Amino acid sequence: MDFTLKIWRQEGPQEEGRMETYPVTGITGDMSFLEMMDVLNDQLIRDGQDPVAFDHDCREGICGMCSMFINGEAHGPNRKTTTCQLHMRSFKDGETIYIEPWRASAFPVVKDLAVDRSAFDRIIQVGGYVSVNSSGNPIDANAIPVPKEDADAAFNAATCIGCGACVATCKNASAMLFVSAKVSQLALLPQGQPERMSRVQRMVDQMDKEGFGNCTNTGACEVECPKGISLDNIARMNRDYLKSQVTGE
């Protein structure tokens, strides 16, 4: 298969970026999108050009490193799929494919298709944890009863890999789906209760500080999320934050 790629090239955070066109040939349908990018970079290196920078790590859909806004959609056209799980057979031979970085002021471009997602790390750092005293006799987590429904809902929220597709997809570049998943995975469990109210306040406040947009409930994030994180989490976070404001806890 042959493709025409239109790729965002940007030397660095302060440089001006632009779309550039690259032909790529000899691609098979069983190659992943990242392998196709590897083939392109191999060609570019052989030609003495600068290869395209893009994030990737596990290449099996669980690390959250790969990104790319492909043909107008985060992680490409397939649902519940990360870019590394996207195969070239999902595209037509000879197709022109647009490849862009996540676009949000809170995710500045590092180079080409790689963006700085440390805003997510800072949101986690202010409250995405439970405090456990390690001295004395900590209670074995398995000894704390958790209803099956709550455990399942918490686990579903915890499947968020923090890739940032929700932000990239949202017309407002809002991080609500990510933050609400990280709030919910702890709010649903007994261990998360003591810090539940302060956690949601800290994390929402940090989200605002990072300059993400506001949620307008379009639901695009849920559709494009490679892990199928539900809007239920956003509603739960809205509820918890409101409660934290009203009770002042």
Q: Interface residues with other proteins (CB under 8 A)? A: 6, 8, 17, 19, 69, 71-73, 77, 98, 100, 103-106, 126, 169, 171-174, 194-195, 197-198, 201-202, 204-205, 207-208, 211-220, 223-224, 231-232, 234-242, 245, 248-249
Calpha distance 119→79 (Å, rounded): 25
Calpha distance 170→160 (Å, rounded): 16
- How many Cα atoms within 13 Å fall on the side-chain side of residue 165? 34
In order of 73, 153, 176, 219, the CA distances from 230 in angstroms are 18, 10, 11, 9
- Looking at residue 3, what DSSP letter applies? E
Note every long-range contact of 12-21, with CB atoms under 8 Å and residues 24 or more positions apart, other chains counting: 12/110, 12/111, 13/108, 13/109, 13/110, 13/116, 17/109, 19/98, 19/100
Instruction: Report the relative pairing of strands 96-100 and 3-9 from DSSP bridges.
Output: parallel
Name the minimum Å distance from CB 148 to other proteins.
Answer: 15
Closer to other proteins by CB, 104 or 186: give it. 104
Name the minimum Å distance from CB 242 to other proteins.
Answer: 6
Closer to other proteins by CB, 21 or 142: give it. 21
Calpha distance 198→165 (Å, rounded): 26
Residue 98 has φ and ψ, to the nearest 5°, of -90, 130
- Looking at residue 49, what DSSP letter applies? P
Name the minimum Å distance from CB 196 to other proteins.
Answer: 11
Name the minimum Å distance from CB 217 to other proteins.
Answer: 4
Closer to other proteins by CB, 109 or 160: give it. 109
Closer to other proteins by CB, 227 or 236: give it. 236
Closer to other proteins by CB, 24 or 107: give it. 107
Closer to other proteins by CB, 84 or 234: give it. 234
Name the minimum Å distance from CB 48 to other proteins.
Answer: 27
Calpha distance 151→7 (Å, rounded): 42
Name the minimum Å distance from CB 119 to other proteins.
Answer: 11
Closer to other proteins by CB, 140 or 149: give it. 149
Name the minimum Å distance from CB 98 to other proteins.
Answer: 4
